[in-house]
Amino acid sequence: ASLLAACGQGQVGQSGGSGGTSNTANSKKLALVPGVQAEPFYISMQCAAQDEAKKLGYDLTTQAPQMFDAAMQTTIVNALGSNPPAALLVTPTDDKAMLAPIQQVKNRGTKIVEVDTSLQDKSVAVSSISSDNTEGGKMAAQTLAKLAGGKSGSVLILDTIAGTSTTAARAKGFEDELKNSPNLKSAGIQFTQNEPDQAAAKVTAALASTPDLIGIFATNLNTGEGAATGLRNAGKIGQVNLIGFDASPSEVDGLRKGEYQGLIAQDPASIGVQGVDQAVASLEGKPVTRNLTANLHSITKADMDANSQYFYKQKC
Ligand code: T6T
């Protein structure tokens, strides 16, 4: 407790740098702090991570913030400092704001593994596991280009919150790839604070301001669900092509109903398993891989039944 008091809340560092104290009582304890609670992507990741930890003789506990929010996540990460786990698997909800709290846990001797998102500072984690999000954005642009079939028009990108490494890479990959389709013009990137209602409102506004809107790329689950609502409210389902990211039950349902023309599904279970494997390798002095990726799968209504293994879970 005295060490924690010496470090103080939100401060970075402890003399001696990243060495810290290793807590032998917790040598088999792994903590997972995902981006947000009760959300199918992170539930799927957590279920697989728990199973993998158990298989390797470790115990993984999960604590998730109520919202995808750096202040809420900071409170959880700071609390870990008083009883540090051997390793922390974390989804930084902001690529800069989460640096200080995560570094502080690291300074207590905890190994840090990033799962899904990552910090801008690449010196903190021993390993980072994510989808190739730039490639995912590119896949979405290629799907929309194919659906447009040479027809001209504008396409809107719905991002979540500035500072989210994953969705930012998806939006960038999408915009870069769009340049290869001269008939398609970017109507810009709109931030939605990861709120479906805001995504729906941005779609309503875009339909009014951009009469040639022919496509939308929703960079994650909440933006996709909101975009589908916006299109439904305007009676534009099927007229404006919607490509979503992720494969939540509601998105999968929307794909079946024709609200989405395509989904780019991630493999959150693989991210969870690889995260645990890297954390354990690091704790046991085995070789650790600094960057790992999980596969992506482009799914359409036509092939969705053959791809049901990529659909996300609502519970373990
Ligand atoms: O798309 C995932 C995740 O990869 C991203 O970092 C945040 O949003 C999700 O959790 C979906 O809601």
The position carrying tokens 């991630």 is: 266
Residue 186 has pLDDT above 70, yes or no: yes
Residue 196 has pLDDT above 70, yes or no: yes
Mutate to test the pocket of ligand 1, among 33, 36, 37, 41 (most ligand atoms within 8 A of CB): 41
Looking at ligand 1, which atom is closest to the CA of residue 268? 4
Looking at ligand 1, which atom is closest to the CA of residue 222? 12
Please work out whether the CB of residue 93 comes within 6 Å of at least one atom of ligand 1. Answer: no
Tell me the per-residue pLDDT of 60-119, one tens digit each, with 9 for 90 and over: 999 999 999 999 999 999 999 889 999 999 999 999 999 999 999 999 999 999 999 999
Please work out whether the CB of residue 192 comes within 6 Å of at least one atom of ligand 1. Answer: no
Strand partners of residue 213? 154
Tell me the torsion sign for CA atoms 204, 233, 263, 309.
Answer: positive
Rounded distance between C-alpha atoms, residue 148 and residue 91, angstroms:
35
User: How far apart are the CA of 61 and the centre of ligand 1, in A?
Assistant: 20
Please work out whether the CB of residue 244 comes within 6 Å of at least one atom of ligand 1. Answer: no
User: How far apart are the CA of 167 and the centre of ligand 1, in A?
Assistant: 7
**pLDDT at residue 22 in the model:** 55
β-strands 291-294, 127-131 pairing: parallel
131: nearest Cα among 142, 113, 116: 116
Please work out whether the CB of residue 312 comes within 6 Å of at least one atom of ligand 1. Answer: no
Please work out whether the CB of residue 35 comes within 6 Å of at least one atom of ligand 1. Answer: yes
169: nearest Cα among 193, 128, 134: 134
Residue 143 has pLDDT above 80, yes or no: yes
- Residues 174-195 have a mean pLDDT of 97
Q: How confident is the prediction for the chain on average, in pLDDT?
A: 93
The protein residue whose alpha carbon is closest to atom 10 in ligand 1 is 41
User: How far apart are the CA of 220 and the centre of ligand 1, in A?
Assistant: 5
Please work out whether the CB of residue 41 comes within 6 Å of at least one atom of ligand 1. Answer: yes
The protein residue whose alpha carbon is closest to atom 1 in ligand 1 is 220
pLDDT band, residue 14 (cuts 50/70/90): very low
The protein residue whose alpha carbon is closest to atom 12 in ligand 1 is 221
H or E element, residue 32: strand 29-33
* This model's pTM is above 0.80: yes
Residue 13 has pLDDT above 70, yes or no: no
Task: List, in sequence order, the alpha helices (H) in 107-248.
Answer: 133-148, 165-178, 196-209, 221-233
3-class SS at 55? helix
Residue 9 has pLDDT above 70, yes or no: no
**pLDDT at residue 25 in the model:** 84
Residue 151 has pLDDT above 60, yes or no: yes
Distance linking the first and last C-alpha atoms of the chain: 35
- Residues 112-133 have a mean pLDDT of 98
Rounded distance between C-alpha atoms, residue 169 and residue 90, angstroms:
18
Please work out whether the CB of residue 223 comes within 6 Å of at least one atom of ligand 1. Answer: no
Residue 128 has pLDDT above 60, yes or no: yes
Range from 21-30, 80-89, 268-277 carrying the lowest mean pLDDT: 21-30
Residue 209's contacts (CB-CB under 8 Å, 6 or more residues apart) are none
Q: Contact, 291 vs 232, CB < 8 A?
A: no
Residue 16 has pLDDT above 70, yes or no: no
- Measured in residues, the chain has a length of 316
